[in-house]
Amino acid sequence: MPEDDVDRIVSAWRRERPELDVTPLEILSRVSRLARRLDLARGAAFAEHGLDGWEFDVLSALRRAGAPYELSPGQLVSETLVTSGTMTNRVDRLLTRGYVERHPDPRDRRGVIVRLTPEGMRAVDAALDDLLTHERGLLAELPQADRGPLAGQLRALLASIERP
């Protein structure tokens, strides 16, 4: 394996602080760097469709909900890990773009639901198609046989971190 930036960082820390066990950096610094690079790549892919990453997040949460492609604001907050105030602002901005609609919640007279419009569905579907094509390219050098085990290891790590 060729040396990467994390190898150099870990080596420097081992030289400067030999009393520390810096092995967590070998994994988590790589995950962090991957996440940053993926955020940039995804941002570029979404921009090709005139979307910001947060717009894709909200629209894709609605799309994944299945017909009639609607969720309550509280459900959107849970799906996207933002505050309710942030979600209100995001829904307002998506409304002005014609990607979502607000409707009264038939189960709660005081509540509303947010529904994906046909225009919003077209936007999120096109962005997802291109995103998947791009991300397949990012994984092209990783052997197919390694992808399942890596996904499982990352799932286990994420589950351990997300546990309350």
Query: Using one digit for the tens of pLDDT, what is the confidence trace for 12-26?
Result: 999 999 999 999 999
Q: Helices 84-97 and 53-64 meet at what angle, rounded to 10?
A: 90
Q: For position 142, what pLDDT does the model report? A: 94
This model's pTM is above 0.75: yes
Phi, psi at residue 83, to the nearest 5°? -75, 165
Number of H helices, E strands in the chain: 7, 3
Segments making up each domain of the chain, as ranges: 50-141
Q: Is the pLDDT of residue 9 over 90?
A: yes
Q: What is the rounded average pLDDT of the residues 40-53?
A: 93
Please name the fold of domain 50-141. Arc Repressor Mutant, subunit A (1.10.10)
Cβ-contact 87, 73 below 8 angstroms: yes
Q: φ and ψ at 81, to 5 degrees?
A: 60, 45
Q: Facing residues of 113 across strands?
A: 103
**What's the pLDDT at 139?**
94
pLDDT score of 32: 95
Please give the pLDDT value at position 109: 85
